[in-house]
Amino acid sequence: MKFLPLEQEYSNYQVFGFDEAGRGPLAGPLSLSILHFHPKDLHLIQSAEILPELNDSKKLSEKKRDLLFSHIPRFSSSFQIFISPKSIDKFGLSFCIFRGILSLLKKSGAQNPFLLIDGNYKFEKYFHDTSFPYRSIIQGDSKVASIAGASIIAKVKRDRYMKELSLKYPDYEFEKHKGYGTERHRNKIKELGPTKHHRMTFLNETPLFPNLSLY
């Protein structure tokens, strides 16, 4: 897949793509990732001469995501963190994403970062000092190589976490639905009750689970 050469528009910066996975599930963490492709490889990646199947993680099979996940580190620097359900319940998604980006940038050690962010984020509406320059791009994970790479890192890391979680909570079948609100998952919550890995604020917003108490 070919991508727009947006990273080159900000050549005075160290450009990172940013994406998240697990924004909407009823259970499990939010996974955030930033990714910087090495400049010597970037043009070849954008023209699909390297990593030709790179794409938005949601458009790839699990097998292709895992394969790309294993190859992407050869051409990039990436950083990933999880945001816990408890933090999401306490602070909300927007704040968690903003603070998560700050944590990722600190983790990266980048001195002059610029973020290309999937979506339509306008952090200035909620935070007086964003502390980092960025550009939001709707459907950026299908248009910008570094965002697509970040989306794969975030998605694969989260899916693997949910599979590990399923070993501790086999009755909830997290390995199948990854915490999303499928009918099977909702029925399991009604039958067994929520775990500490469920997002109580999300459950309270659904008619099936009114007035559940927080942890």
pLDDT at 119 (0 to 100): 93
pLDDT at 124 (0 to 100): 80
Domain ranges of the chain: 7-167
Identify the CATH number of the domain defined by range 7-167: 3.30.420.10
Looking only at the bridges linking them, the beta strands covering 113-118 and 76-83 are unpaired
- Looking at the chain, the whole-number percentage of residues with pLDDT higher than 90 is 88
Helix (H) or strand (E) holding 115: strand 113-118
Ranges of the chain with pLDDT below 70: 130, 206-215
pLDDT at 209 (0 to 100): 59
> Which tens digit of pLDDT belongs to each residue from 108-122?
999 999 999 999 988
pLDDT at 181 (0 to 100): 94
Give residue 155's identity as a one-letter amino acid code. Answer: K
φ, ψ of residue 205 in degrees (nearest 5): -85, -5
pLDDT at 214 (0 to 100): 40
Distance CA 199, CA 215 (A): 10
pLDDT at 207 (0 to 100): 61
